[in-house]
Amino acid sequence: MSERAPAIKFTAAAIICLLVGTCQRVPPTLEQIRTLGELRVVTRNSPTAYYLGANGPEGPEYDLIQQFAADMGVALYIYTVPGFAEIRDQIASGRAHLAAAGLTISKAWGESITFGPAYQQVRQHLIYSQGKRKPRSLEEINGSHIEVAAGSAQAETLRRVRSRFPMLTWVERGRGDSLELLGDVVAGKIDYTIVDSTEFSLGRDFHKAARVGFDLMAGESLAWAMNSRDDSLRLRVARYFADITRSGQLTAVLNRYYGKSNRFDYVGPRSFLRHVQSRLPRYRQWFEEAAAGVGEDWRLIAAIGYQESHWEPDAVSPTGVRGLMMLTKGTAQQIGVKNRRDPRQSIFGGARYYGSVRAQMPARIPDPDRTWLALAAYNVGYGHLEDARIITQLHGRNPDLWQDVRAFLPLLAQEYWYKQTKHGYARGWEPVRYVDNIRGYLDILEWVAADSGPQAAADEGLPRIEAPVKSGG
């Protein structure tokens, strides 16, 4: 697997000719893939396709194509190119077998490109801000300040409907993407914007006041693209999508990325204190021992655990992370955790992993900024944090101060900025909320769980945390 195209790449036909020693017959694409033992896929660095997460590659297209390669019993070689024109060139030339990049089915791709079955319908939402009157038609927004991305499908839709609404005007923004436009609507800088339903699903967790007024267009279909030279791969792709649609796997993948998530919602003090009383006593001793092993305050490790799972040892996320500290399978193997559902193993493993991330931070950064930056890296990945620190420095701010970096992390979700970074797209608002939440839980733990023990809290009339009961494991 790779993130970028190699400098020199033979076409699939040329490689097969070398393998079989003759060019008298170009084998069907599916036969080429099986002979090579490798599926070569071109994609985009995009929230709707493929990107690097804290623990490796993620994205809806990546999840789907990874399973497809596994079902075929071949290795996956995936790489990114900057835009749609490059994707078309990679498929038409045979350098890539398949494009999985959030592509809309269209005749504009030309006769050399064919598409697999549609796997997702995309609608165009008109967006307004909560607190304002909900618009229900284009007539109602005539004369309003509307902005869309330049060259986008949304701009083309507005051009098509303008003949029916002569007073309709808009601005096509050359720089900026859907997340930035959503933010400007919420901030009151513009009245409305139009974004795809997938983009809105990804951005609404950050811009919670953004609301859908109505849909301008429905029914745009997304699909994988292939060379039209033969039907062998297209038929295999069609069978794969039929299987995952029937099994529910396709719905699960789409919900994983586009379904509403409450993971980063802050649990208020009242609910948290109830869990401090009912759940924390079972695990406090392990938090203390694990934290001591990495030289940290046990309450910090406990706060991380609460943010991850609410101290539920059987917690499982849609992406496959699980356990009290919500470790991925790869991270668990890396830090020696054999059973992620075992709360003791999970706590000790999570503490070791946090300690390893913190150790990567530049030694010059003092606490508490070192801690907050390490937590952000724990959530989003150290590479993405470094990208944000570089952006912070480019804006003349201090990359060693959490408050400064915090302001620029969300830019990692904006196309203009992530295309300039080494590690590309990231949901940059998530580490901000992650650190904010943990700081809130930590403040409460420092209030009710002083190191002097539970009796001190009781003497001050605070909630009492009973001493933990020793358990095996």
Model confidence over 106-150: pLDDT tens digits? 888 889 999 999 999 999 999 999 999 999 988 888 889 999 988
Which pLDDT score is estimated for 469?
35
Q: In the beta sheet, which residues pair with residue 76?
A: 39
Instruction: Tell whether 467 is covered by a domain.
Output: no
Model confidence pLDDT, tens digit, residues 233-250: 999 999 999 999 999 999
Task: Tell me whether residue 308 is one of the annotated catalytic residues.
Answer: yes
Instruction: Tell whether 466 is covered by a domain.
Output: no
Centre a 10 Å sphere on the Cβ of residue 128 and count the other Cβ atoms it contains. Answer: 23
Domain match, 215 and 239 both: no
Bigger pLDDT: 460 vs 412:
412
Q: In the beta sheet, which residues pair with residue 4?
A: 80
The C-alpha angle with vertex 105 and arms to 102 and 109, in degrees rounded to 5, equals 100
Domain match, 195 and 294 both: no
Instruction: Tell whether 407 is covered by a domain.
Output: yes
Which pLDDT score is estimated for 27?
86
Domain match, 238 and 295 both: no
205 — pLDDT class (breaks 50, 70, 90): confident
Domain match, 323 and 384 both: yes
Instruction: Tell whether 278 is covered by a domain.
Output: yes
Instruction: Tell whether 326 is covered by a domain.
Output: yes
Q: Between β-strands 113-115 and 210-227, what pairing exists: parallel, antiparallel or unpaired?
A: antiparallel
Q: Average pLDDT in the 419-424 region? A: 94
Domain match, 347 and 446 both: yes
Domain match, 404 and 278 both: yes
* Full residue range of the structural domain in which residue 340 is found: 269-459
Which pLDDT score is estimated for 3?
46
Radius of gyration of the chain measured on its C-alpha atoms: 25
Q: Is residue 20 predicted with pLDDT exceeding 60? A: no
Domain match, 66 and 135 both: no
Instruction: Tell whether 449 is covered by a domain.
Output: yes
> Is the peptide bond preceding residue 463 cis, with omega within 30 degrees of 0?
no
Which pLDDT score is estimated for 267?
85
25 — pLDDT class (breaks 50, 70, 90): low
Q: Is residue 43 predicted with pLDDT exceeding 90? A: yes
470 — pLDDT class (breaks 50, 70, 90): very low
Which pLDDT score is estimated for 451?
59
User: What is the share, in percent, of the chain residues with pLDDT greater than 90?
Assistant: 65
Which pLDDT score is estimated for 76?
97
Confirm if 426 and 416 have CB atoms less than 8 A apart. Answer: no
Bigger pLDDT: 457 vs 159:
159
Cα separation, 389 vs 276, whole angstroms: 35
Q: Which string of b and e fits 218-239 if b means at least 16 CB within 10 Å?
A: eebebbbbbbbbbebbbebbee
Domain match, 26 and 99 both: yes
Total domains, the chain? 3
Mean pLDDT, rounded, of the chain: 87
Q: Which of 58, 296, 308, 430 is catalytic?
A: 308
Which pLDDT score is estimated for 225?
96
> Could you give phi then psi for residue 112, rounded to 5 degrees?
-80, -10
Domain match, 282 and 375 both: yes
Model confidence pLDDT, tens digit, residues 45-71: 988 899 998 888 999 999 999 999 999
CATH of the domain at 371: 1.10.530.10
Domain match, 65 and 95 both: yes
Domain match, 288 and 432 both: yes
